[in-house]
Amino acid sequence: MNKADFLLAGVGGQGVLTASDIVAEVGIALGLDAKKSEVHGFSQRGGVVESHVRWGERVGAPLGEKGRIDYLLAFELMESARWIEMLKPGGVVIVNRQRILPMSATVGDAVYPTDEFIDQALRSVTDRVIYVEGLETAQALGNKNLANTVLLGALARAMDVDPELWLDVIVKRVPSKYIELNKQAFWKGLGK
């Protein structure tokens, strides 16, 4: 592995930016160059968050390109469909099944898409669709904020990178009292 483009997408408040920091740090731990850049509008909370991470020998642009992203990590179910066009055909999409209803659907006339619609959208681009019960797993561990670590575990599993390397980076990022829980969340995501 000497290069990879990631897109992490979700809703403000889900920990997308922290997770993308970790992905970038793992790239550096692998001895690669890495860049990270997020895109967000003028709403701080509840809006769409899009964060790009790029690994390479020497990374130029801080943002990846439509149709060339290797790994799409969707922190929210319908966000996977919003961003799937960014994935390269045959790339990996990891989807947290959690639903966060937007106001256009809660009080407006928009309708949250069905599971079937989303699955078809994803499979129109790739067969490598991985669903994760991020929120459920995190809640079982007693803290819903662990969902992003569960997702990182799932990403580590989909990639050929030593899980211990991921754990080293995660441990450095989280407050000491949450280290053990984050480790457990990561292993759950990794499927162990």
Partner 1 sequence: MKKLLSGNEAIALGAYLAGVKYASAYPGTPSTEILENLAKYDGVRSEWAPNEKVALDAAAGACYGGARALASMKHVGLNVASESLFYLAYTGVNGGLVIISADDPGAWSSQNEQDNRNYARFAKVPCIEPADSQESVDFLSTAFDLSEQFDTPVIFRTTTRISHSKSVVNVNGDQRVEHPGKKFSPDPSKYAMIPANARRRHPWVEDRLKRLGEWSSASAINRIEWGSKKIGVITSSVAYQYTREIFSEYSILKLGMSWPLPEKLIRDFASQVEKLVIVEELDPVYETEIRALGIPCVGKEFFPITNEFSLAVVRDGARKLGVATLEPVTTTSFATQVPTRPPGLCPGCPHRSTFYSLRKLKVRVAGDIGCYSIGVLPPFNAMDTIGCMGASIGIAQGMDAIGANSDKEPWVAVIGDSTFLHAGMPALANIVYNRGASTVLILDNDITAMTGQQENPGTGVTLSGTQGKKIDIEAVVRGMGVEDVFVVDAFDEPEVEKTIKQAIAIKDRPSVVIARGPCVFLPDYPAKFIDEVDDVKCNGCSLCFRVGCPAIFKGELDASTNKPKALIDPLLCVGCDVCLQVCPRDAIFRANN
| Binds partner 1 by CB under 8 A, chosen from 4, 78, 147, 159 | 78
**Contact between 114 and partner 1 per CB under 8 A:** no
Among 111, 127, 164, 192, binds partner 1 (CB under 8 A): 111
Residue environment code for 152-166, b if the CB has 16+ CB neighbours within 10 A, otherwise e? bbbbbbbbebebeeb
The nearest distance, CB 115 to partner 1, in angstroms, is: 13
What tokens does 179 get? 């280290």
Q: Which of 18, 30, 37, 173 binds partner 1 (CB under 8 A)?
A: 37
**102: closest CA among 134, 128, 76, 129?**
76
Rounded to the nearest 5 percent, the helix, strand and coil shares of the chain are 45, 25, 35
| DSSP class per residue in 131-191 | EE-HHHHHHHTT-GGGHHHHHHHHHHHHTTS-HHHHHHHHHHHS-GGGHHHHHHHHHHHHT
Contact flags string 124-143 toward partner 1, x per CB under 8 A: xx------------------
Q: What is the smallest separation between the CB atom of 187 and partner 1, expressed in angstroms?
A: 25
Extract the tokens encoding 151.
């997702």
67: contact with partner 1 by CB under 8 A: yes
Contacting range for partner 1; rule: CB under 8 A; set: 55-63, 134-142, 147-155, 181-189 = 55-63
- Give the interface segment with partner 1, choosing from 63-71, 150-158, 160-168, 181-189 (CB under 8 A): 63-71
Question: Given candidates 4, 8, 94, 121, which one binds partner 1 under the rule CB under 8 A?
Answer: 121
Q: Of 45 and 192, which CB lies nearer to partner 1 in the complex structure?
A: 45
The only residue of 18, 30, 97, 113 in contact with partner 1, by rule CB under 8 A:
113
Burial class (CB in 10 A: 0-12, 13-18, 19+), 126: middle
Residues with Cβ within 8 Å of residue 145, at least 6 apart in sequence = 15, 138
Binding site for partner 1 (CB under 8 A): 11, 21, 24-25, 28, 33-48, 59-68, 78-79, 81-85, 87-89, 101-108, 110-113, 117, 121, 124-125
